[in-house]
Structure 1
Amino acid sequence: MKISVVEPLGVKKEVLAEKLRKAIGEDPQLMLWDDRKESDADLVERSKDADIVVLSNIKYGRTVIEQCPSLKMICVAFTGFDHIDMECCKEKGILVCNCAGYSTVAVADLVFALVLSLARNIVACDKATREGKTKDGLVGFELEGKKFGIIGLGAIGTRVAQIALAFGCEVSAYSRTAKAIPGVTFTDLETVLKESDIVSLHVPQCKETIGMIGKEELALMKKSAFLINTARGPVVDTAALVTALNNGVIAGAGIDVFDKEPPLAPDYSLLGAKNTVLTPHVAFASSQAFAKRADIVADNIRAWIAGKPVHVVS
């Protein structure tokens, strides 16, 4: 059995190797790469002889897959899997599984880091303090009593709802599947956008969600409202968001995901938009999340070998 982990996963190599060896129950041939390379040529070189490939959010397309004749399983060490050519995997009978759940806590934490940064003007306060200034013009607001809208109520959206309730917010949600969560009011998308002081996105990227927050949706929001996106970049129309921010259609945005992966070019439009807090796709990245992910990767492989695969997305 040959396993290629084509990029580092945030834990020490020896720790990950031990977990994988325990998962298989024999001495597998492990290829653990120390750096992240995203070209098709590099990915082919790293996975051409592997039975199992492990990767996070590197694009893994048909050009690569077709040059990996031994490949039987792709373990995506990530929640989203839109970067994998699922149609090609289906054609070739390659099982794809993900690591859903490993970053639930980490992402929810960052949601409120972004919310509080905007609500209490943290970035501007830091700058003012360093420049010998006072709080003048920087008085923010409390979350208690604010209307917190959630779009997408999976595991992460649910945890965000619970934290928002703990802050004393009124929580409403729009989701394809209604859930019975005490304190959360289910409603339609338009109502969430119109009534919320804070709108937090937690939907996967798919055909139905790409561009779901555009000019018309932003225009429905309160002028005093904040938009938080820790989901996927293409869910929001970037050009429409920049226009809305600069024209005062909404008050601010906390954004961790973009329509391209960081590093962003200096002229990337959102970098110049008003009242934004931007982070470089870091919501999922905590030491605890990476440890959980390594365990899930090992469990996914163990389950597949046992003929009872879990976290299957193909």
Structure 2
Amino acid sequence: MKLVIIEPLGVEKEKLLSMAQEALSGRMEIVYYDTRTTDTNELIQRGEDADVIVVSNLSLNGDVIRGCRNLKLLSVAFTGVDHIDMAACRERGITVCNCAGYSTCAVADLVFGLLISLYRNIIPCDSVCRREGTKDGLVGFELEGKTFGVIGTGAIGLRVAAIAQAFGCRVLAFSRTVKEIPGITYVELDTLLEESDIISLHVPLNDATRGMIGAEEIQKMKKSAVLINTARGPVTDANALSEALKAGRIAGACVDVFENEPPVAADHPLFSAPNTIVTPHIAFATREAMVKRAVTVFENVKLYLKGTPQNVM
């Protein structure tokens, strides 16, 4: 059998291949590509005789899925699978496994890194300090005593909620599944939007969540509210968010995800919005998280070969 790692996974090649060999005990031929391509024909050429393909956040459309004739398993080195044509996988009977949990700590870390950077004006403070300036006009805010709204309480959402509590925040949550978690009060979405000083999104992208934060929802937020999106770009309406920020209807935004993977066009509406920090989809990307997900990727393959697959989507 043949396993193709169709794009780099953020771990040094030698270490990655050693991890694969150790997990799979030499049961598969392993081919590794250390470059990314979005060309459909090239992706088909890379995976056409693979039994297993390992992919991160590279988009695999239906043509690629159907062109990989021997494909039986996609081990996705990512939490979400909205970049995979799942209909084509079901049509072909291909098993798809994800890497749930590998980036929980990394994403939660970035949520608070972005928020504190915005609350304490760290980026403009750095700039003004280098120009021999002072703190004038740059006095910030504390987290203690704020109401922190978490939309989506999976593993990442719950970790964010726990950190928010450690900062002394009151935590509200909205999720399709209500859990009994000390210190978290589940409320309806409108209540969360109306009462929260900070709103952090942690939902997958699907038909129910696409555009869930649009102009109508933003209108319900406090003028002092900050919106954080480290989930998926299309969960929010970027144009509506930009307009709200420019009009002062909300106080700020921290955005790590967009409608497409970076590079993002320079004329993106959020790039001209005030009080906004943007990052190029880096929430999941720590050295520790890359190793964690590689472990899970190959464990997914190992268990599939044993007939006991895990993390099946």
**Aligned-residue offset at 1:126:** 1.0
1:258 aligned partner: 258
Q: So what's the TM-score if we normalise by structure 2? A: 0.99
Are the aligned partners of 1:224 and 1:251 in contact in 2 as well (CA < 8 Å)? Answer: yes
TM-score, normalised by the number of residues in structure 1: 0.98
What is the CA-CA distance between 1:23 and the residue it aligns to? 2.4
Provide the secondary structure at the position in 1 that maps to 2:227: strand
1:172 alignment partner in structure 2: 172
- 1:230 CA drift (Å): 0.2
Q: Per the alignment, in what secondary structure is the counterpart of residue 193 of structure 2?
A: helix
Query: What are the Cα deviations for residues 180-235 of structure 1, in whole angstroms up to 9, with x where unaligned?
Result: 11101010100110000000000000000000000000000000110000000000
| 119-128 vs 204-213, greater mean Cα deviation | 119-128
What is the match of residue 219 of structure 1? 219
Structure 1 residues not aligned, in runs of 5+: none
DSSP-derived class of the 1:66 partner: helix
Q: How far 1:294 sits from its partner (Å)?
A: 0.7
Deviations 1:278-314 (A, max 9, x none): 100000000000010110011100110000000000x
- Correspondence list, 1:183-202, <5 A: 183-202=183-202
List runs of 5+ in structure 2 lacking aligned partners: none
| Paired amino acid for 2:264 | L
Q: What amino acid is the match of 1:261? A: E
Aligned to 2:151: 151
* SS of aligned partner of 2:296: helix
Name the CA distance, whole Å, in 2 between partners of 1:26 and 1:115.
Answer: 46
Q: What's the CA shift for 1:28?
A: 2.0
Cα deviation code 1:136-179 (max 9, x no counterpart): 01000110000000000000000000000000000000000011
Q: What is the aligned partner in structure 2 of residue 17 from structure 1?
A: 17
Partner of 1:106: 106
Letter in 2 for 1:127: S
Give the Å deviation of 1:22: 2.4
- Trace 1:129-140 onto structure 2 (pairs within 5 A): 129-140=129-140
Task: Report the Cα offset of residue 47 of structure 1.
Answer: 0.6
Which whole-Å CA distance do the structure 2 matches of 1:146 and 1:209 have between them? Answer: 26
Letter in 2 for 1:204: P
Q: Does 1:299 align with 2:291?
A: no
Q: Secondary structure at the match of 2:67?
A: coil
1:6, 1:47 within 8 Å by CA — same for their partners in 2?
A: yes
Contact 1:24 / 1:305 at 8 angstroms: preserved in 2?
no
Aligned length: 313
C-alpha distance after superposition, 1:104-132 (max 9, x if no partner): 00000000001101110111111111111
Residues 242-293 of structure 1: CA distance to partner in whole angstroms, max 9, x if unpaired?
A: 0000001100000000112111222111111111011000000000000101
Identity of aligned residues (%): 56
**What code does the residue aligned with 2:117 have?**
S
Alpha-carbon contact 1:151-1:157 (below 8 Å) kept: yes
Structure 2: which amino acid aligns with 1:26?
G
Find the aligned partners of 2:110 and 2:13 in 1 and give their Cα distance.
Answer: 27
Per-residue CA deviations over 1:74-123 (Å, capped at 9, x if unaligned) read 01100000111111111111000000100000000000001101110111
Distance 1:263 1:131 in 2: 30
Q: Offset at 1:27?
A: 4.5
Deviation at 1:25, TM superposition (A): 2.4
**Which residue of the partner structure matches residue 120 of structure 2?**
120
One-letter code aligned to 2:29: Q
Q: Which amino acid aligns with 1:218?
A: I
Partners of 1:25 and 1:290 in 2: CA distance = 21
Residue pair 1:48, 1:67 contacting (<8 A) in 2 also: yes
Displacement of 1:24 in angstroms is 2.3
The range that moved more, 241-250 or 31-40, is 31-40
Partner of 1:87 in structure 2?
87
